[in-house]
Structure 1
Amino acid sequence: MSEKPPFPLAPQSISKRRRNISILLLIGASSLLIRTLMSYNFDKTALLYVGIPFFVSIALLYIIKKPEQPTLNRYYGNLVLWSLIVMLGTSVVLFEGFVCVIMFMPIYFGILLLMYLFQLLTCYLRSKKKGTHYAHILPAVIFLSAFEGVVPSASFEREYSITKELVINATPEEIQQKLIKPMQLDIERNWLLSLFPMPSNIEAGTLSAGDVHHIDFTYHRWFVTNTHKGHMKLELTQVENDYIRTTFLEDTSYIGNYLKLKGTEIRFIKTKNGNTKVALTIYYHRFLDPAWYFGPIQEYAIGQTADMLLNELFVPETA
């Protein structure tokens, strides 16, 4: 005959214990799914960036105890809190860096919000004794969008180019002389660019066609530790008085995980008042899906990079 525990657990304590165990299992399952996607080279597709949040949101809607009348306040706050715990727990298991976590958060919490709204709509329709089949369109669309990038036919345009212009009070010759000088590595940057490492060292030769410039990067994935090093090789493919074309020969930097920099074109256009309009075009290839999320983010980041380079590399001190 088994003995009864001296202090029986209250139903609320049992519920919390089951919830905590379920959360741990969810972290393990999410980590295993992400590791599987990485093993089969699907980690840059929407299966990771849409499919995993979709899976986590469905699981949390079942795990977290629902009040009788769910509202967009305390219950949703609990969902956000536990989803953050799941995301951070998965990141620890997979040794993800802080940049990956920050880039993942908006789409992760956005899908959670959509699924919660779907639940609210379903509850509302049921209370009105109406059919809920129209409400299921939303999760169906999210589910289907998770397969973007899995096959070429389910992908969108990946080749991009961004052009920025700046009128400088200098001649093309003076501007090209500025290009030969070393770039300052401690310049102020846009908030998004500041998440990524600046070059730790730049080895640049002359401004002659065929020269290859070496750019080294050091990235601390956990702010001060888990250090990764990489580099870029940039070739000056064509150099003219009014035109410079460069090609990226190699990129093992952390930026190369998100996109492939292909090259740049720089045009120097003399204006009537003696100034020079510099037009900088950056060509790159987008790796990550979905396009509706990473496309605008990368366009913004590359545009900010082009503005920074124009002001830092092309404006002579005497201008």
Structure 2
Amino acid sequence: MALEGVTPTLSFPRSESVTSVRIVRGSPADVERVLGAGLRPETPLPLFLRIGFPRPLAVQGTGLAIDDMRHIHFSGAESDGPGDLVLRVAKTGPGYVRFERVSDDSHLRQWMAWEVSEVRWREVSPGRTEVRWTIQFARRLDPAWYFGPWERFAVKQAADYLIVADAEPR
């Protein structure tokens, strides 16, 4: 177990996927409008993500059309300064959008490689919409038996946050 991650042959798979699901008040059109307006970084982070993780400070970019961009500026952590995660709308459809990473020079890159965010939404009853946010990433910390569960937990918290900060109508 102590050698896990030292070489590729001694490494567990690094690809991970985490999904969060939440019912929000509002129609699918409301959710789509809010998603198109972009992340609201003033939304409070979950408690776990407030204990030293980089925080989103500002966001540039709106829209849900193919090639629309999001530049999310994060605070730094430890000795690393602030940086940006840049996402591009790669695919859209009714009740669906896929964001793919263009670049990442935020401190997050030391722990994980953010790859894809997929958001799906559908009406479950009048005025109530289910939002499903999936984040695909690659774990960059070893050993997997220790860091894997912590990274999945942190990314699940991030997906929960993204539903509230980027998809929930207010």
Alignment TM-score, normalising by the size of structure 2: 0.90
Deviation at 1:166, TM superposition (A): 1.0
Q: Counterpart in 2 of 1:202?
A: 59
Change (3 A) 1:294 1:206: same
**Residue identity opposite 1:174 in structure 2:** D
Higher alpha-carbon deviation: 190-199 or 280-289: 190-199
- Aligned-residue sequence identity (percent) comes to 30
Aligned length: 169
Q: Is the 8 A contact 1:172 1:241 kept in 2?
A: no
Specify the SS of the correspondent of 1:284: strand
Q: Is the 8 A contact 2:91 2:99 kept in 1?
A: yes
List alignment gaps of at least 5 residues for structure 1.
1-144
Q: Counterpart in 1 of 2:141?
A: 288
Deviation at 1:176, TM superposition (A): 1.3
1:183 pairs, out of 39, 51, 56, with 39
Q: Is the 8 A contact 2:5 2:144 kept in 1?
A: no
Q: Residues of 1 paired with 2:113 and 2:19: CA distance? A: 17
User: Within the alignment, does 1:309 sit opposite 2:159 as a pair?
Assistant: no
Q: Counterpart in 2 of 1:146?
A: 2
1:164 pairs, out of 20, 44, 55, with 20
User: Within the alignment, does 1:254 sit opposite 2:107 as a pair?
Assistant: yes
Alignment TM-score, normalising by the size of structure 1: 0.50
Q: Residues of 2 paired with 1:304 and 1:203: CA distance? A: 22
Greater fraction of residues in helix: 1
Greater fraction of residues in strand: 2
CA-atom RMSD in angstroms: 1.8
**Residue identity opposite 1:211 in structure 2:** D
Change (3 A) 1:271 1:206: same
Specify the SS of the correspondent of 2:82: strand
Greater relative CO (CA pairs within 8 A, separation 6+)? 2
Q: Is the 8 A contact 1:236 1:247 kept in 2?
A: yes
